[in-house]
Amino acid sequence: MKVGIIGGTGDIGKGMALRLSQNHEVIIGSRKEEKATLSCDACCEFLKELNLPFDLTASTNQGVIDTCDIIIFSVPPETLQITIDSLTGLEGKLVVSLMNPMERKDYFRYAPPEEGSAAMQLQKMLPDSKVIAAFNNIPAKQWNQISEILDYSVCVCGDYEEEKQIVMELVNSISELQALNAGPLAVSATVEAITPLVINIAKFNKMRDVGVYFR
């Protein structure tokens, strides 16, 4: 399966590209193809130096949609609407949301849109796509540390069972991540809210890169 990352030049997008391209055909997408190419070249260089196999190319966000089976949305929630408005052809596609809308005051607070969660908002914007929430609670820095084992639990939520299964397999293909079926897409509100929680826990307890394990 071809995996495309919309907003693939951001920190998390790049980290996911590094991790996923070792086992999958991955396309880094960006609004501008040159930006995607720069990011892709840096990733390829990095993986070559480590003598790791990879299958990674660059394209526009639209190119990702036109050619990929799994479309990962790794964009800031604030720019979601403008990104969606600039794209076509998402009907019927498997779309993965890893967005966690939050605001920072004296601590980080979950700030969901009125739909209930970012994933539910994305599903409403794309009624003919199949939105699955996953990868929400993985500490951002851990994506890039590719020599480090990732063994967190990863909640996967969605209303399409077949697509949920595909995303769970994708999760389980990365390092030692453990995919867990967390139920329908509505549950993504709780899963997204765990991200500001773990950031707060790290801060208040002098811990680093806190993730979550359900056992």
**Of 54, 48, 52, 99, the residue nearest 72 (C-alpha):** 99
**Of 163, 162, 208, 212, the residue nearest 192 (C-alpha):** 212
Provide the 3-class DSSP secondary structure of residue 22: coil
> 203: which DSSP letter?
H
110 sits near a copy of itself (criterion: CB under 8 A): yes
Token pair for 174 = 């990365």
Q: Which of residues 170-189 bind a copy of itself (CB under 8 A)?
A: 180-184, 186-187, 189
32 sits near a copy of itself (criterion: CB under 8 A): no
Judged by CB under 8 A, the number of residues near a copy of itself is: 30
The answer to whether 108 and 199 have CB atoms below 8 angstroms apart is yes
> 129: which DSSP letter?
S
Q: Which of the stretches 32-40, 64-72, 88-96, 190-198 binds a copy of itself when contact is defined by CB under 8 A? A: 190-198
Q: Which of residues 145-174 bind a copy of itself (CB under 8 A)?
A: 155
104 sits near a copy of itself (criterion: CB under 8 A): no
Residues 130, 131, 135, 141, CA torsion sign = positive
138 sits near a copy of itself (criterion: CB under 8 A): no
214 sits near a copy of itself (criterion: CB under 8 A): yes
Which spans of this chain sit near a copy of itself (rule: CB under 8 A)? 107, 109-110, 155, 180-184, 186-187, 189-191, 193-194, 196-198, 200-201, 204-205, 207, 210-215
